[in-house]
Chain A
């Protein structure tokens, strides 16, 4: 009886593995086909195919990067900025995304200047934000966990040691590990706050290169305007409108569909 249960369990595991591998294989082939569309200059089609993968639940730096590049080819600069930002949320040190994002932002800034506007799309990031952006949620979680477990391990080992010097050394080591763990815990809490409470977005839809921002969700009295690709924080959603705050601290309302979430 036990043998049968064990055998059934093994078979289930095998099928699960095969199924997972098959699903991954399908996703990869779809991704390759989308890349082929891009290579052949069919950018709109490539975007549609990347979109299909997103709908299937794929979340990958490579997918977002390729979609951003395809959107840029189509002239959808706001969408391109959105997806490059999504890449950096997963891989903060992605060189290609950082480079392409800078190219697009410089272009938008030049375009704005030519039209008589000041535009600086690079969000003003303080030191805390800079530190947070260097970590992904996974890297922050793993780093904290490792140092955290090391700290307790050192404490346990110290308990069993008898030598005075070795206990002292282990005590100092535990202290250092504690400080590092606390710092990483703060970073992890910051990333958690970013994940659950900070909803950031990019202006993706504009009228004549600009997105008007209104006084309220129930009026069209313009308060100010944002450039395409501007990064904003979503504070509230109401009746198809979103209350946003830009990096200059200005608040206002825009139609939700004109924003792309990061």
Chain B
């Protein structure tokens, strides 16, 4: 057997080869699994100038963290508008054991998904290529796919999906907001409120859809509320039934190079009720920005934004072709029906005639035609009902009126035809629709009474089908009263003439009576007070009159003189002195402040007059004149005295 001698050189080569083999096998044994690289586009067609979103997610599992290299978007000709990255929290490391017992070995691995959300925009149409994503993990490099996309010009009819396979594009996305729609907008780099009507010029009664948007370039808008709603004076407003904020997908738009999210806040249907230039006054919105995170304690800040007013030019309805008696609210597209429930009835039985208008437009304001007096029928005022449905950007519905007809005579009667005119917005012309007359065959029933009140056989025609629960309720109620104490309406008692006369007249009379009494008393007091002042004048006047009298006997003359002086004293003292003796009179005068000498003079004079009455010889005219003058002088003296008040008060 021949021995093979291996030299050192061969040993070195063998060793190297072994090492290489070992390293290769080891390397193969430690290669991590291929990371999952997903790239999604939010659309399938791309238009120059319109932003679109790419979501890249990399799920990798290895011993180290992956090093992800994104494509060079700028280099590829795109403009990067926004980039968000979400990394796995805490690296999601986990460990597990290999082997058992003393040979057990703990292995630590890293696994997680990194997500990128990038908003790009291509300024020009053309073919672009998005480079593959590269991931370096545990020393191994993994490469994703390349995505060629074709960008078209705005308005181009080509809009087919041009992304290569592997791209899952989600539906949605929309055209950018046009300049016309942004007319009047108060642009703000962060957020602004704006109203966009579906049209800025329309005809009276034509529907306009008004959208109120919040444009925001800052995320985390929350808790918004309208401090002031859009002012819609001059418009009839309907709110859409199917409008639901949560179901509406926000759009992303670029305005002046800034990417905004276009959030729809309110959607209304407006119907102008008059022609001219109508203004929708701006709403004001409050909302919170920032804060609100679960682990943050920041409340954010409150922001208020107002939109600009929007003006709508409303054209009037054309005058030519307008039917006579046209109701201006009847604008839209409508169909018109008239039908009767029963057409074979007996006299006194109810026939319900229903007039219906159905279609699209401001159905709530539609004016239904009414029946006038119809020969052979007694009618009751119609009951109207309106059903409105506001869905899918269109307001539709039905307006209906039901009139009760009661035939009063037998035979073939006719409910006349009705016509309904409306302005058709589609053809921009007036239309008049005519119903057909309805023939009612009336057989003989119970005669109506002389009062014209209908008496009919029991019939459910026109009666409601009453719910069983209502019937049970009615069974527990008290029934009608049969007293016949009824009377016609009268004015309230407090408004009747006699009542008002009593209310105002009695106090007027009462207080008038009091006033009269008071005035009378005051007059008497004044008269009494004036009496003293007038005493002297009255007395002298009486004296002058007495002096002129001639042919009086002594008795008569001196009686009168005596009386004049006493009356004067009464007036002057304001006391009754008739019946006083001379002593009493003297005391009275003294008490009132008349000095003693004068008191005596008064008493002496009065006594003299008493005696003179019975004198045998009649006095001459001269003597009597002197007596009168003496009386006058006495009166003057007493008048000059400042009397003390009655009762002795000083």
A interface vs B, CB < 8 Å? 24, 26-35, 37-38, 40-45, 48-49, 51-53, 56-60, 62-63, 65-66, 69-70, 72-77, 96, 99-100, 103-104, 107, 111, 137-138, 140-142, 145, 148-149, 152, 155-156, 188, 191-192, 195, 205, 207, 215-216, 218-222, 257
Contact = CB atoms under 8 A, between A and B. Distances in A.
27 contacts: A31-B484, A32-B484, A33-B451, A38-B480, A41-B458, A49-B454, A58-B487, A59-B489, A62-B481, A62-B483, A62-B485, A65-B481, A69-B477, A69-B480, A75-B464, A100-B477, A104-B477, A141-B494, A145-B503, A148-B506, A205-B383, A216-B232, A216-B237, A220-B238, A220-B364, A220-B388, A222-B239
B591 to A, nearest CB: 31
A116 to B, nearest CB: 17
B473 interface: yes
Given A41-B458, A73-B466, A218-B237, A137 B494 contact: yes
B458 A42 contact: yes
A190 to B, nearest CB: 11
Contacts of A41: 458
A112 to B, nearest CB: 13
A218 B453 CA distance: 40
Interface in B472-493: 473-474, 476-490, 492-493
A31 B480 contact: no
Nearest to A219: B237
Given A57-B488, A137-B493, A96 B237 contact: no
A74 B464 contact: yes
B75 interface: no
A189 to B, nearest CB: 9
Interface of B: 229, 232-239, 268, 273, 350, 364, 380, 383-385, 387-388, 404, 449, 451, 453-456, 458-459, 462-464, 466-467, 469-470, 473-474, 476-490, 492-494, 499, 502-503, 506-507, 510, 513
Given A38-B480, A107-B473, A218-B237, A58 B486 contact: yes
- Which 9 residue pairs spanning A and B have beta carbons closest together? A219-B237, A59-B489, A141-B493, A60-B486, A66-B480, A75-B466, A28-B484, A57-B488, A137-B492
Given A32-B482, A33-B449, 14 more contacts: A24-B487, A28-B484, A28-B486, A41-B458, A65-B480, A65-B481, A69-B479, A76-B464, A103-B477, A137-B494, A145-B502, A148-B506, A220-B236, A220-B239
Contacts, number: 161
Given A76-B464, A218-B233, A219-B237, A60 B455 contact: no
B274 to A, nearest CB: 10
A92 B427 CA distance: 60
Contacts of A221: 237-239, 268
B225 to A, nearest CB: 15
A25 B489 CA distance: 16
Given A74-B463, A220-B236, A192 B494 contact: yes
Given A107-B473, A145-B502, A195 B492 contact: yes
Nearest to A139: B493
Contacts of A37: 455
Given A30-B453, A188-B494, A221-B237, A145 B499 contact: yes
B146 to A, nearest CB: 53
A31 B478 contact: no
A207 B559 CA distance: 109
A139 to B, nearest CB: 9
Contact of A42 (B237, B380, B456, B474): B456
B495 to A, nearest CB: 8
A192 B473 CA distance: 36
A205 B400 CA distance: 14
A72 B484 contact: no
A44 B463 contact: yes
B240 to A, nearest CB: 11
Contacts of B503: 145, 148
Residue from A37, A70, A205, A218 with most neighbouring chain B CB atoms (10 Å): A218
A73 B474 contact: yes
Contacts of A215: 229, 237
A85 B427 CA distance: 51
A141 B499 contact: yes
B470 A107 contact: yes
